A and B are shown apart, each in its own frame.
Chain A
Amino acid sequence: MFLTLTPAELEAIYLTAALASITTVLLLIIGTPLAWWLSRRRGNVPAALEAIVAMPLILPPTVLGFYLLLLFTPDSALGRLWQQLTGSQLAFSFSALVIGSVIYSLPFVVQPLQTAFQRVPQGLLQAAATLGASPLDQFRSIVMPLTRRSFVIAASLSFAHTVGEFGVVLMIGGNIPGETQVLSIALYDSVESLRFDEAHRLAGGLMVFSMVLLFLIYRSDQQSTGRMRA
């Protein structure tokens, strides 16, 4: 009985997995060029951008959630625009969770990628250029294979961090089963209403999941140490 999940719990798991997957894919698409740009630039503009990217690391998630909520309400320009385009409200929707998660997990993708990109020797890219490779080709044929491990780490961290998100979700998503009730919220809900059996299943499951994911990351880290040596 203890290990059997209720339909509501299954829905929360499904929702969490969907949110984390969509967020991770979006973050890799946005974060890769951003990290590349930051890794090749020096100056005030990149430094300011780096600071903005890193903000979610130190801000309480509720601060971020509060401002995003103000931005998403139908009274704001963005909220209004969204409502006109899609016909539904942005705040307290799954889409709002995706946007919030992307911002909240941005540093977890950008920082490992940026560090890895900085370690790719400029000389290798110059050599590739003299062999006829355009910048996009250099990125695809030299940078990506050499930093593959960092992409895995960035994706795993982004996924795991989104799964573990609570404050931002609570502020902008509320607690709507099937729409915004992700695992961490469902857990909070169970504890609030003293359903400790359910809380144990969810909390224990998340612990095991995190443990397995981190173990896999660190094991792949051991296996591929020395790959970057040129």
Chain B
Amino acid sequence: MSNLGLTLFCEGDSGFALQLDCELSLTGITAIYGPSGSGKSTLLDCIAGLRQPSSDSVISMDGQIWQSSSVTVPTWERRIGYVFQDARLFPHLNVLQNLKYPLARRARPGEISLEQVAAWLELGELLSRATETLSAGQKQRVAIGRALLSSPQLLLLDEPLANLDHAARQQCLRCLQRLSDELHLPMLYVSHDIEEVSQLADQLVLLDAGKLVEHGSLLSLCTRLDTRLSHEEQAAAIVTAAVKGHDAHYGLTELTVDGHALFVNHLPHAPGQTRRVRIPARDVSVCRKRPQDSSILNILPVTVSEIENTDAARLLLRLSLGSQFLLARITRKSAVELKLQVGDLIYAQIKSAALLMESTDQT
């Protein structure tokens, strides 16, 4: 657990001023999420010392002052790793030389080795390549490795997957997940892609117009109806599920969510492992009685715990499933016809396609 203390005021590029006064306890991956122009990158730049906040700002990391009215620790003396959106590999050095760049400058003996980093990030075959021959995804994995080899206390990632195609993005996500599992290294991950955030993040910092809106665990924040997250078009609940078994005949994997069975497309994971499943609100419908002749496989008994109008036509339901929650977006007309009330016991139908998820979660 690391503590990042921020009392910040900094003019952003896009008209907003970043204005924060908070203490963030960082474990695992903390996503900084918000619309563009909300000050996400400005925040990372201030933490890295690449941008100078106003003179009364204070930044402290685990009690060590990086920025105050009397102290400004220069970037090269802060123990941070920074992965930029545009990898920023050094063009005159090959992959191995890029990875070695921080070694002479920052590395401490006994910390992670180059071989280990190369294995985690699947870089083995790239080491002797020139950087201009790499694909965007390969560049980004080298950039992540280079940042790790500077033995950071805190890893900053600024939309590292924004320029990648789907396959490269999945590979990078898998690598980042692996790093988060293997290393006790807090990461601040800037993103405006909620799918990416829900696959990776343990915690969430919501920024809007330069201000902190929410900070907390991702699983609880994304199903709370009073946060902006649940009102977005792609709002989704995230539940943790255990792998129960595989049905080879139908190509399905059975998961258990609080004692209830959930079928998803075949996953390569062994029974007993825990997975995170993202269920978009628009893919959940509800009915009063358990449907008998439905093509939908996943029908779960749930309790209506909250109802919120989102616009004239639609509303959002928060449904409790044991200790976890689902979101359902339905029309107001159906809600009236079904006479839905808080506390009602109903059935949620989930399209199985919505459950496909490649990321892993070991927690």
- Contact between chains at B101 and A131 (CB < 8 Å): yes
**In the complex, are the beta carbons of A146 and B88 less than 8 A apart?**
no
B91 adjacent to A130 (CB under 8 Å): no
- A131 contact set on B, CB distance < 8 A: 76, 81, 101-102, 105-106, 146-147, 150
Partner of A146, one of B49, B91, B132: B91
Interface string of A103-120 (1 = CB under 8 A from B): 000000000000000000
Is the C-beta of B309 less than 8 angstroms from some C-beta in chain A?
no
Q: Which of B76, B82, B84, B150 contacts A134 (CB 8 A)?
A: B76
Q: Does B90 contact A (CB under 8 A)?
A: yes
Q: Are B147 and A229 in contact (CB under 8 A)?
A: no
The reply to whether B101 and A141 contact each other, CB–CB distance below 8 Å, is: yes
Among A25-33, A82-90, A121-129, which stretch is in contact with chain B? Answer: A121-129
A128 with B132: CB separation less than 8 A = no
* Chain A interface residue bracket vs B: 20 to 34
**Given known A129-B75, A131-B150, contact A146–B105 (CB-CB < 8 A):** no
Instruction: Evaluate contact between A130 and B92: CB separation under 8 angstroms.
Output: no
Given contacts A137-B105, A141-B101, A229-B132, are A130 and B90 in contact (CB under 8 A)? no
Bound-complex Cα distance A82 to B51 (A): 47
CB distance from A123 to the nearest CB of B (A): 5
Query: How many residues of B are counted as interface, with CB atoms below 8 angstroms from the partner's CB atoms?
Result: 24
For chain B, what secondary structure do more than half of its interface residues adopt (helix, strand, loop), or is it mixed? loop
One digit per residue, 1 when the CB lies within 8 angstroms of any chain A CB and 0 when it does not, for chain B 65-83 equals 0000000001111001110
Residues of A within 8 A of B147 (CB): 130-131
State the CA gap A142–B132 with chains docked (Å): 16
Contact yes or no, B80 A145, CB < 8 A: no
B contact residues around A59 at 8 Å (CB):
none
State whether A130 touches B150 (Cβ < 8 A): yes
B50 adjacent to chain A (CB < 8 Å): yes
Q: Which of A123, A130, A133, A137 contacts B86 (CB 8 A)?
A: A123
Q: Which residues of B contact A141 (CB under 8 A)?
A: 101
Which of the residues B91, B92, B102 comes within 8 Å of A132, measured between beta carbons?
Answer: B102
Q: Which residues of A contact B75 (CB under 8 A)?
A: 126, 129-130
Q: Are B84 and A123 closer than 8 Å at their CB atoms?
A: yes
Q: Are B105 and A130 in contact (CB under 8 A)?
A: no
Complex formed: what's the CA distance from A229 to B133 in Å? 12
Which one, A127, A146, A227, contacts B84 given CB within 8 A?
Answer: A127
Contact A127 B105 (CB under 8 A): no
Which residues of chain B have C-beta atoms less than 8 A from A145's C-beta?
92
Number of A-B contacts (CB under 8 A): 66
Which chain A positions have C-beta within 8 A of B50? Answer: 126, 129-130
Give chain B nearest CB distance to A116 CB in angstroms.
13
User: A70-101 interface mask toward B, CB cutoff 8 Å, 1 = contact, 0 = none?
Assistant: 00000000000000000000000000000000
Contact B101 A124 (CB under 8 A): no
Which of chain A's residues has its CB closest to B151's CB? A132
CA separation between A106 and B86, bound complex, in Å?
37
Contact A229 B91 (CB under 8 A): yes
Q: Are B86 and A128 in contact (CB under 8 A)?
A: no
Nearest-Cβ distance from residue B256 to partner chain A, whole angstroms: 43
A228 to B92, CA, bound (A): 8
Residues of chain B with a CB closer than 8 A to A130's CB: 48, 50, 75-76, 80-82, 147, 150
The answer to whether the Cβ of A212 comes within 8 Å of any Cβ in the partner chain is: no
> Which residues 125-163 of A sit at the B interface, judged by CB distance below 8 A?
126-134, 137, 141-142, 145-146
Chain A residues whose CB sits within 8 angstroms of the CB of B101 once the complex forms? 128, 131, 133, 141
Nearest-CB distance from B103 to chain A (Å)?
9
Q: How far is the CA of A40 from the CA of B179 in the complex (A)?
A: 37
Asked if A146 and B76 make an inter-chain contact with CB atoms under 8 angstroms apart, the answer reads no
A228 to B91, CA, bound (A): 8
Using A126-B50, A127-B82, A229-B132 as known contacts, say yes or no to A132 and B150 having CB atoms under 8 A apart.
yes
Contact A127 B88 (CB under 8 A): yes
A3 within 8 A of B: no
Distance (whole angstroms) from the CB of A227 to the closest CB of chain B: 8
25 A-B contact pairs sorted by A residue (CB < 8 Å): A121-B88, A123-B86, A124-B91, A126-B82, A126-B84, A126-B88, A127-B82, A127-B84, A127-B90, A129-B50, A129-B75, A129-B76, A130-B80, A130-B150, A131-B81, A131-B105, A132-B77, A132-B105, A132-B106, A132-B150, A134-B74, A137-B105, A142-B92, A146-B92, A227-B92
Q: Which residues of B pack against A, CB within 8 Å?
A: 48-50, 74-77, 80-82, 84, 86, 88, 90-92, 101-102, 105-106, 132, 146-147, 150
Contacts A130-B76, A132-B76, A146-B92 known; list 8 others, CB within 8 Å. A121-B88, A124-B88, A126-B82, A126-B88, A127-B82, A130-B75, A132-B105, A133-B101
